[in-house]
Structure 1
Amino acid sequence: GSPSADTGPVDTDFHWRYKGPRNIPRPKTSVVVNALENGDGKKYAFVSVISNEKYVDGAIVLALSLYNTSYLLQEKYCELVLLAPSDLHKDSQRRLRHAGYHHIKSMPSLAHYLPGSMWKDTFDKLYLWSLYDYSVIAYYDADMLALEDPDSVFNFPLPNATFIGALGSGNKKYFQTGMMTIIPNKETFEGLLEHFKEGVRTKLFYGYNARDGEVARSYFGPRFVRLSNYYSTYRNASESLAKIKVFHFRGFFKPWYDMKHPPHFKPSQATGAVEFGQAYRMWWEYYEQFHVAHFQA
């Protein structure tokens, strides 16, 4: 089924109180803003997906950074949505709402179809196509940090709901699923879900490394609009963040992992484990400022 209704009331103004986002001026050239101001009737959303408590902190900072850099969010032209499990802790839900999520929708996990996969939780991204309330959504993994102008990703039009916007190769043979633009659509969602289930039955998708990207690539094939890499870019600590719109903390190590209780792998094996650069410091600045205000509220 589709994600269920919200789990509680939203505190949409808390993020303004913790520090207040930068005042983003109206973009001089924006297809989306021009269309919205002319009353095109479309509804946009930034969306992320988490499948357990481990990524709550990432989703919080993603929301804060999007509000701090998005004209569409600040002017209420766009909403912020999170897909999450129904058993998410109440305190986690409260913090997420304080961070600015307009809607937190629960979903039945698809992980049980391939319990042996290390990436089994990523299959829940298929529910993105079921967010029928929105004309277009921009999806960002929860381990990302908006640096500037995430709105312009909506300026890459998709021909119709059978296409996906993604970072990919010029020969149309490969695209990534950590950042996508999507037209939610019932027919596409049901077709994608059936493709996934049939792929599990026929072992098209199987094993330790089975993941959502395999499902999306085999379903959409060359039907994707290539987005700029600046909407999902990783840099080493010594490299400049210039031109990057959204930074992606790729790899097993995430900024919010407790260094007193690190994951069970050698730091040398994890991208980012020893890279405490500018993006890492920015992430913690958001996190600390927010939680000082959260616990004083």
Structure 2
Amino acid sequence: MAGRLEDVYCTLVTSDSYVAGAAVLAHSLRDNGTKKKLAVLITVDSLRSATITELKSLYDYVIPVERITSPNLANLYLMGRGDLRDAFTKINLWRQTQFRKIVYLDADTVALRAPDELFDLEASFAGAPDVGWPDAFNTGVMVISPHMGDYWALKTLAATGDSFDGADQGLLNQYYEHKNWHRLSFVYNCTPSANYQYEPAYRYHKSRIAVVHFIGKNKPWNSPRSQSATP
């Protein structure tokens, strides 16, 4: 009888500029005591060999995947985020059927504790609300049960450019809009954004925050200490 499929934390690196964040993420998960394996999806053609070598020293599984570029870049440039042109590459998560459950974390997230309890969710998909539009989920933290049917459906949708923001977040929210999915607490994807100013709620819930997500172009590991964002 075949053994139980493995659960993993997973991130995605399509640019050398994200290797520092991926390193911080890996260390934050291990420093907080997780025993789960760590995986990273990479696009080999966009990374230096030194970057791949470093990722292999940090992650248990380094998995080359196909780059998937958005055919509709207008909305990305509208948001000033042309750097997200390859964000559809995230669709490859659903193709990783060698794993039972994936807790996906963007390479600009940091774990304040290891949220291992997410692997116990029965839902095939889960996401936390986006600070900019809470009806939508933010794709920086997701719980996924890989499935080839979802992969091919998402890839077909991506080929049409049918995404309200031109990136993975619009695409995935449109795909799951009429499907059953589990809404995670904001504590699993807390964004220290200038737009989020509900200080009493932060003070009340801060001890429960599991993951901090540094959205936007400026990342604390690329900034002088005095300019770094703090949750």
TM normalised by structure 1 equals: 0.63
* Residue of 165, 189, 211 corresponding to 2:126: 165
3-state secondary structure, aligned to 2:217? coil
Alpha carbons 1:48, 1:140 under 8 Å: kept = yes
Match of 2:147?
Answer: 185
Match of 2:136?
Answer: 174
Q: By how many angstroms is 1:93 displaced? A: 1.7
Match of 1:126?
Answer: 91
- Given the alignment of the two structures, is residue 226 of structure 1 paired with residue 189 of structure 2, yes or no? no
Q: By how many angstroms is 1:214 displaced? A: 1.2
Alpha carbons 1:70, 1:150 under 8 Å: kept = no
Gaps of 5+ in 1: 1-38, 260-271, 280-297
Kindly report the root-mean-square deviation, in angstroms, between the aligned alpha carbons of the 2 structures: 2.8
3-state secondary structure, aligned to 1:256? helix
Q: Deviations over 1:65-109 (max 9, x none)?
A: 1111243x2xxxx3211011113212212222222x011112221
Distance across 1 between alignment mates of 2:226 and 2:7:
35
Closer, same or farther: CA 275–257 of 1 in aligned 2, 3 Å = closer
Q: Deviations over 1:28-53 (max 9, x none)?
A: xxxxxxxxxxx982310100012111
Query: How many residues in Structure 1 have an aligned counterpart in Structure 2?
Result: 210
* Residue of 42, 45, 52 corresponding to 2:5: 42
The structure with more strand, counted as a fraction of residues: 2
Q: Deviations over 1:239-283 (max 9, x none)?
A: 764221111112221022255xxxxxxxxxxxx993454x6xxxx
Gaps of 5+ in 2: 77-81
Alpha carbons 1:129, 1:188 under 8 Å: kept = yes
* Residue of 56, 71, 82 corresponding to 2:40: 82
Q: By how many angstroms is 1:231 displaced? A: 1.1
Distance across 2 between alignment mates of 1:91 and 1:98:
11
Alpha carbons 1:65, 1:145 under 8 Å: kept = yes
3-state secondary structure, aligned to 1:83? strand
3-state secondary structure, aligned to 1:142? coil
Distance across 1 between alignment mates of 2:16 and 2:155:
25
Distance across 2 between alignment mates of 1:248 and 1:59:
12
Match of 1:251?
Answer: 216
Match of 2:28?
Answer: 65
